[in-house]
A and B are shown apart, each in its own frame.
Chain A
Amino acid sequence: MSGMTRLPVDDVAGALPEVIDVFIACASFESRCLTLAEHIPGYKVRQAILCENDSLASLTTEFSQRLTDRFANVVTRLVFRRNDPLDVADKLQGALANVAGSGRVIFVDITTFTHEALLILVRLLQLYRRLDDRVYFGYTVATEYSVGAEGGDKWLSKGISEIRSILGYPGENLPSRRVHLLILTGFETERAAKLVDEFEPALVSLGFVTGADTDEIHQLSSRAFQQSFLEKYSSAEVFRFPCYDALATKDAILHQAHRFAEFNLVVAAMNTKISTVGAALAAAEDDRIQLCYAFANEYNYAGYSAPGTSCYVGDVTDLLAATATPRET
């Protein structure tokens, strides 16, 4: 189960070590950013690194303040400049380096990071964690996305203002090869379609959610997406991935990569953050894979999601360690 186990959020504290040396979370416009933080006793946390995006400051103030208050004396706040992945990387790297000692317990609530910031953080943890550090990830499940909207009207984000490769995952796109674009699809039909239009890839692989452990909302969204998308891109290759299992998602991506090894592979993770971690693991294992990020024009700030009562938590140290480190020149 990829190191992360599903459990009621009320049980999260018991699933973690007695002391958390570093708790990392991202203040968001989603109340889900509070769920795990509010279920960990404050005394357990030695240091908290709270991230937020400067462009969303007006939308995140309340939740940011609540998180700050919760860990009042041990908080380091990192405010990321919009549209600047170097700033994200440098600030996270600096903050992690400033936490003294080895054998640290690092607990990351991955729920509300942007896909891009999360992927950068995962790469940093793979490359720069210290000897005997233990890394735990937590993820709060949503009971509903695009709260209040029905069926095809559901949306999380709209438009693409920029597409860029993700720092730490430049891939190995050789000029002699054609592009294979692989998308882990979610609700975001329009953005995924735009991504395909922008890349005009020679081959498209569309990953749709599967698995007994998958919530019905993900299954429904996937079916709706699949129908509408395949009408337009009838030649796309279809594969399945379990959106709450990073390891199996990694395997699903690598399977597609090996099937079409003669292409440059670009992966866009547009489903749950756990599956995004799966994309990071795949790119670490096969560093020819490039990860890309489609920067959205607009997010559904008012009703992005509703927090559920269960979460995924677990020790992912071995998962991160099992993947390759970058090759040197």
Chain B
Amino acid sequence: MNGNRSHAVSADDARDVHCDAPGIPTCDIAPERTRDLKYLSQPVVKKDAYALLAGKPLYTADIAPADALVMKIVHSPHAHARIRSIDTSRALKVPGVVAVFTYHDVPQTRFSLAGQSNPVASPYDRLILDPVVRYVGDEVALVVAENDRAAERACRLVRVDYEVLPAVLDFTQAVDNPVVVHDEDGYTVNAGWINNERKRNICAQGGSAFGDLDDAFEQAEVVIDRTYHTKANAQAMMETFRSFAYTDAYGRIVCVSSTQVPFHIRRMISTALEIPPSQVRVVKPRIGGGFGAKQSGCLEVFAAFAASRLGRPVKIIYSREETFTASNSRHEMQMHVRLGARRDGTIVAIDLETLSNTGAYGEHGPTTVGLSGHKSLPLYNRALATRFGFTVVYTNTMPAGAYRGYGATQGLFALESAVNELADELGMDPCDLRLRNLVREGEVMPQFDGQTLNSCSLDRCIRRAQEMIGWHEKGLVREVGQGRVRALGVALAMQGSCILNVDIGSVDLRLEEGGFYVLSIGATDMGTGCDTILAQFAAEVLECPVERIVTRGVDTDVSPYDTGSYASSTTYITGAATIKAARALREKMALTAAGRWGVDASDVCFDGERLFVPAPNGGAPLHETDLAAFANACVAGGEGDALTAHAAQGAEASPPPFMAGIAEVEVDRATGEVRVVDYVGVVDCGTVANSNLARVQAEGGIAQGIGMALTEDVQYSPAGRMRTRSFMTYRLPTRLDVPSIRVDFVPSYETTGPFGAKSIGEVVINTPAPAIASAVAHACGHQVRELPITAEKVLHGE
């Protein structure tokens, strides 16, 4: 019944204009499994592309009610202080000011802004407003007014009397520091495994060890013993944090927000405001990027709180400065690696100890750190023994949160740098060293929750990357004249495809009158294109053009539950749920048609356009109806029902995607200036769901990784005030900084994934920092172990 397809597909037209990176043929090692895909692995244009490109009003601020009150926030100027008193009387006299809320006005239940499933691993360590402020930027008062100017003026008139307290700013000095960041009542730990000792500033600690480490190091002939340091980074999505809230006809709170996690935001608002979750509805419109920043709540609780108190719509839009200084960032980490190997390059022992700075609050602190080990060590799964230990500390800096890569980025910088240093020490080619030690399909990975590796084409990714960059022709380092050298460096990466045994995605799929489908999802398209990609999955099963599937984004009142778009899970988890639902709907359609025709359901065929019962002799079908007529009949004649299917997918496995990245840098020996002149990335994300969007994910992730490697660095003054508060001081890569990123795919086939797919969103950010660091080491003779790799460090060392 699959033999009779004849669709004109817009995706096919789009393929004609798709241009690959120069001279790079697409390499596909699983063609026999994916050859017949019609809508997947195609460069399907995003459903929202033309509306976005026409500048239509689709984002949170564009659709806020015109009469919404405006909220502005008074932020703490001190890294650690107790508020003695707040005088709001002058602020309240400003014409147009409606309310000023302080810690006196808010509920006293602590909560976390971490967008995580229950039980939330991050401690419940914050209030909407707290009499103790714990970092420069912490919220002190919420000012609500009729317009921006009144709110801004009133913010300046709120008088706060602070008792300034000593602060702990250096995360390496946090454990057992006399300054305790969280000694308040009401602090709640929801998950015992984090081993919280908050009186010692320890948010979480733990580890995992396999094999006899001492014995394995005994067998090592070379030991690389180094400490690496990655800094806090800003996710820097172009749309800053923003949301608005109002009360609806039933007196419920509706919060419209630019968030990756609408269902978790619902729980946050419910907890923080001490109202039942049934009284909260969260809606996600188009999002202007997230990269993990919006996997934490930010200002939703403020808008919801004020709207509930005032009974009027309230909107809040963070400036770029507030987004830099009063939200969340990547966790700064210090990693001590001991890597033991034999002289022939066989890695026998790895010991990784990670110290992570969660800042003033614990959002994602206990969980990000785990990935620094669990998503790095399995690359060298054949080591005789591995140990991973971690400590996550509180300090009086801005809270960290989720950022693409989520700890794996940090851990891989450390481990891959150490492996590169090992190669240099042994005088071995760093690609050969890796090919000797790589994890292979079929291996059980103890550091990866004991999962078995089903799919991995990493060896072929490395060889393809070598071929693309000209690895053997160019050599690791070469002079190019005028005091400049060009050099190569390589790194590998892995990630997960969801949070094992935690994530859930579900979808509703409906056949509508007229013969089209509505796919209702709880996963959040934040610009990545999942509204389109999930429709491609449904189209593949329902054998129809993607345009016939209407995707309905997230409204917690009507969307099926989804933990949200993070942990690289949407394609793997919600994609699998979509396939299940589409298959179930096909079965219902066949069953319904069979009932009408008085035949057995197994005799009914569906080719996407019509349902029919073929004649045994190949003649005209015995029964036949086109899809529209069939759908219309389902709801005609005073009986029947629109056919619907619901399916959910849990996280029984989290297959790792892999990537090999090679950087070619040019270093000016006189100035220390480093330029990435070429970067190649070869990705194994399993079956590529959308060939354009996957490529853009990879190119975008590599560019962010280049920023992390060379320029992006959240810095503080000695008093704890963030210095990097704008794009002038926190420098993102521009078009001039990334002249060439070339991406290719070597897809393996993941049997647990939807049509063989794994994930791609995060793995792609992980290779640039270690690859560039190694290339710079080859160029200038020393390894920079603290990011970013500035000209000063290149010239003078650290």
Q: Tell me if chain B binds chain A.
A: no
Q: Which residues of B contact A (CB under 8 A)?
A: none
Q: Which residues of A contact B (CB under 8 A)?
A: none
